[in-house]
Amino acid sequence: MTFGKAMLAEWSFEPGITYLNHGTVGVTPRRIMAVQQAIRDEIERHPSRFMLRALTETEFGRPLTGRPRLRAAADEVAAFLGARGDDLVFVDNITAGVNSILRSFPLREGDEILVSDLVYGGVLRAALFAARERGCTVRTVEMPHPFRADRLADAYASAVGPNTRLAIVEHITAQSAVIFPLRETAARLRAKGVAVLADAAHAPGQIPVDIPSLGVDWYVANLHKWAWTPRSSGILWAAPARQADLRPTVISWGLDKGFKAEFDMLGTRDPSTHLSAPAAIALMREWGLDAIQSYNHALAWTGAQRLADRWQTAFDVPEAMIGSMATVPLPDAAGTTPAEASALRDALFFEDGIEVQMHAYRGRVWTRIGAQIYNDINDIERLGEAVASRVNAATAR
């Protein structure tokens, strides 16, 4: 396969857009959208038969023969992630999965949940809500900068206190886009009696994943970001010892029938996103999963260095901590606040036709580029010039 601009035909983008934000809500190839539509068409030929007799293990009358469709899809996705299908369930997204875990975990008054200052905003809010309901606290650990794997793991381990019961640890951080030392961090936390919830929203498809080897208690991830599955689709993996007391956020027909049944049957919803996941994985393998990940990594790594050179800022992250995304600081004149980051992002989108993530962190504005096989270095250089032009114009005024 030849990656770059030629691959744009495989997606449904508006003509002329420079899209450097694959990670935010994902983008699904046309072929997988067609698979999803075929599944929807199949459902509509006999909805009750599909939803009540073929989809899940929960029985509504006599089921059809064969593996339930949702379990068969879970088996394939689990194998892609090095896991067993029996330990994995589908959730709408990482937000739903994290909420399920936090609401099921037996927090008591005075307990503490540990997060880092790289935590995703939606996850942080879920933790704050769970803590507020039960008289617990959420403590944020500042991660040492510049980022280095051993220093990040040290910061988490050193922060554990006598009341720390649960830690939320990223696999790939959302804004800073670094691959976190999850395995090492989890081992040190669990050695201190702290349960570990892994936020892996960006990991499947972006980097190789073998969930059981990471040593976490729960692993929640999205498939609609880097694994090309139609949105929204995510997974929740739970270690066998953590499954019995885990409940979905919606209680329905699967209640008390076991981990898989409770999450698989949440009432009537569109299962076509989850059922499309095996086709998305198959397409990545057809085009070459290793080649895709290598291309995206090289583009993100090289592109980040080009941007830093163009803007005369410092990109100081080890290459081993970069997957398909990289975060680069903008010049000082770009601003320092979330409002300034948002305004620049809007200007790039509405006036320059560039979609890219911008955020404020530690007193300056940063951009996160997401590299996908429909991008090339010209896209990133176009971003570099557009930002430089806007910053220079602002400085001249």
pLDDT, tens only, 275-314: 999 999 999 999 999 999 999 999 999 999 999 999 999 9
- Mean of pLDDT values over 259-280: 95
d(CA 95, CA 310): 36
Q: CA angle at residue 38 from 32 to 41, to 5 degrees?
A: 145
Q: State in words which class domain 46-282 has.
A: alpha beta
> What is the pTM for the complete model shown?
0.95
- Mean of pLDDT values over 376-380: 98
Which pairing describes strands 164-170 and 195-200: parallel, antiparallel, or unpaired?
parallel
Residue 63: its pLDDT value, please? 82
Query: Does residue 234 contact residue 222 with C-beta atoms inside 8 Å?
Result: yes
Domain 5-31+288-396: which topology? Aspartate Aminotransferase, domain 1 (3.90.1150)
**Could you read off the pLDDT of 26-67 as tens digits, one per residue?**
999 999 999 999 999 999 999 999 999 999 988 888 888 889
d(CA 168, CA 174): 13
Res 396 pLDDT > 70: no
**Could you read off the pLDDT of 163-219 as tens digits, one per residue?**
999 999 999 999 899 999 999 999 999 999 999 999 999 999 999 999 999 999 999
- Mean of pLDDT values over 363-377: 97
Domain boundaries, the chain: 5-31+288-396, 46-282
Of the chain, the percentage scoring pLDDT greater than 70 comes to: 99
d(CA 394, CA 397): 5
Provide the mean pLDDT of the chain: 95
Res 397 pLDDT > 70: no
**Could you read off the pLDDT of 169-182 as tens digits, one per residue?**
999 999 899 999 99
**Could you read off the pLDDT of 55-108 as tens digits, one per residue?**
998 888 888 888 999 999 999 999 999 999 999 999 999 999 999 999 999 999
By C-alpha distance, which of 222, 218, 229, 215 is closest to 259? Answer: 218
Query: Does residue 355 contact residue 21 with C-beta atoms inside 8 Å?
Result: yes
- Mean of pLDDT values over 328-343: 95
d(CA 278, CA 230): 11
- Mean of pLDDT values over 115-135: 96
By C-alpha distance, which of 102, 94, 111 is closest to 193? Answer: 111
Residue 218: its pLDDT value, please? 98
